[in-house]
Amino acid sequence: MKESIIKDKIVALLKQKPQLVLLIVIVAVLLIINQKFSTLSNFVNILKAVSVISIISCGLTLVVISGALDLSVGSMLSLLNVVSATLQLKSDSAAVWVPFVIALFLGLFNGLIVSKFNVNSIIVTLGSLSIFGGLALLYVNGAIIIGRTGTWYTWIGQGKLLGIPSHIIAFLAIAVIFEIILSRTSFGRALHYIGTNGEAARIAGIKTGLIKTTAFIICALSVAVSSVIMSARMNSGSPVAGVGFEFDAITAIVIGGTSLAGGRGSIRNTVIGVLLLAVIINALTIYNVPFSFQAIVKGILIIVAITVDVKAREKYGK
């Protein structure tokens, strides 16, 4: 009887959380076969490596659940990164708050065009990707900015609290806050309704344009957090710092089980997706697998994840 109950629970877990099961299995195998992977420093390094992309992924998850997509987050990160780095040369406080103000307007720009003019979000943010990337290069003339040392600003990316790196704390805090927003607020429920059926949500009285625009703004603000952390951690700013980050974020989100069609997903699943991707890349790095092959692995993962999502929607509906 007990064996039957355990078996049923395992089957249910496999159906409901296949990504989590896969993550546990991969970690367990690596712990057994590779001593380098099992060190505490390696686990800390994994969390350090994913802190920036995790924060961006959390913000992007809101947009994806609403049935949209923001491809500009990588270029936005590059732009805000150089803005933060250059301002830090004169004022630590300005280096923190100015990127958030700029992000507010960048998110508003994307959100309004998508919601008010009913333009496909992929087209809009593909254009924004080029605009923001170009602005980042123009702002610093393609140069890399080296920041000041020994300021409180650098603590944001290099400091520790109770022995835990500050940017890991920021990632965990944002993940918890965003999970609460998605699962416990009317805004989060509205995002799911809009992603499932935008027209029905509008008829039901939900202000779909306002909700979707707000999702873009929150996503942009999460990029601002990441940009400040990245600049403070590296003590520098680069106009190409965020190149490719949009695809890493989308890969992590899709691997985590969030549907690109909208209406389904959660922050905890995104975190699982980020960690799963990070563990796989970390293992490949430990075994000295070339970066080019790592890129191929990422591509395969996202194709498989999207295929599984499409088949699931065909079978069970959106």
DSSP letters for 86-145? HHHTT-HHHHHHHHHHHHHHHHHHHHHHHHHS---HHHHHHHHHHHHHHHHHHHHTTPPE
Cβ atoms of 103 and 224 within 8 Å: the answer is yes
Q: What pLDDT is recorded for position 308?
A: 72
Q: Which two tokens stand for residue 227?
A: 């940009």
Quick one: DSSP state of residue 290?
Answer: -
Structure tokens at 95: 């280096």
Which residue bears the tokens 């991969």?
26
Encode pLDDT of 87-141 as tens digits.
999 999 999 999 999 999 999 999 999 998 889 999 999 999 999 999 999 999 9
Among residues 269, 264, 234, 236, the alpha carbon closest in space to that of 252 is found at: 269
Dist CA 37 CA 33 (whole Å): 9
- The per-residue pLDDT for 261 is 84
Look at residue 171 and tell me if it is in a domain. Answer: yes
Q: How far apart are CA 210 and CA 31, in angstroms?
A: 47
- Judge contact between 132 and 79, C-beta under 8 A: yes
pLDDT band at 294 (very low <50, low <70, confident <90, very high): confident
pLDDT of residue 33: 82
Which among 57, 67, 62 is positioned nearest to 218, based on CA atoms? 62
What is the residue-wise DSSP string for 141-196? TTPPEE--SSSHHHHHHH-EETTEEHHHHHHHHHHHHHHHHHHHSHHHHHHHHHHH
Residues 254 and 144: their CA atoms lie apart, in Å, by 32
User: Residue 63 pLDDT more than 70?
Assistant: yes
Residue 2 lies inside a defined structural domain of this protein: no
Query: Residue 80 domain-assigned?
Result: yes
Residue 36: count of CB within 10 angstroms of its CB: 13
Does residue 317 have a pLDDT over 60?
A: no
Confidence band, pLDDT 50/70/90 cuts, at residue 2: low
Q: What is the CATH number of the domain that holds 106?
A: 1.10.3470
At residue 67, the pLDDT reads 92
Q: Is residue 160 helix, strand or coil?
A: strand
Nearest 5°: CA angle at 266, between 170 and 258? Answer: 120
Confidence at residue 15, expressed as pLDDT on a 0 to 100 scale: 60
Average predicted confidence (pLDDT) for the chain: 87
E-assigned strand segments in 52-203? 145-146, 160-161, 164-165
**Is 60 in contact with 219 (CB distance < 8 Å)?**
yes
Provide the residue range defining the domain that includes 183.
49-312
- Does the structure show a pLDDT above 90 at 175? yes
- Kindly state the percentage of the chain with pLDDT values over 90: 49
Average pLDDT estimate for 36-43: 78
Q: Letter for the amino acid at 189?
A: R
Domain membership flag for residue 24: no
Instruction: Give the model confidence (pLDDT) of 201-259 as tens digits.
Output: 989 889 999 999 999 999 999 999 999 999 999 899 999 999 889 988 998 898 888 88
Q: Quick check: 1 pLDDT over 60?
A: no
Task: Report the pLDDT value the prediction gives residue 158, as an integer from 0 to 100.
Answer: 86
User: Can you give the pLDDT at residue 306?
Assistant: 76
Residues 240 and 78 sit within 8 Å (Cβ to Cβ): yes
Which carries the bigger pLDDT value, residue 145 or residue 21? Answer: 145
Assigned token pair, 229: 């952390």
Q: How far apart are CA 155 and CA 71, in angstroms?
A: 30
38 belongs to a structural domain: no
Q: How confident is the model at residue 12 (pLDDT cuts 50, 70, 90)?
A: low
Q: What is the pLDDT of residue 315?
A: 60
Residue 275: pLDDT above 60? yes
In a domain, 83, yes or no: yes
Query: Residues 172-195: what's their mean pLDDT?
Result: 94
Asked, for residue 39, whether it belongs to a domain, the answer is no
Domain assignment of residue 32, yes or no: no
Tell me how many degrees the CA angle 43-244-289 measures, rounded to the nearest 5: 50
Which tens digits make up the pLDDT trace of 16-35?
667 777 788 888 888 888 77
CA–CA separation, 139 vs 232, rounded Å?
19
The total domain count for the chain is 1
Comparing 317 with 142, which gets the higher pLDDT? 142
Q: Assign 304 a pLDDT band (cuts: 50, 70, 90).
A: confident
Q: Length of the chain, please?
A: 318
pTM: 0.91
- CA angle 247/250/256 to nearest 5° reads 140
- E strand segments, the chain: 145-146, 160-161, 164-165, 236-237
First to last CA, the chain: 36
Predicted pLDDT at 313 = 61
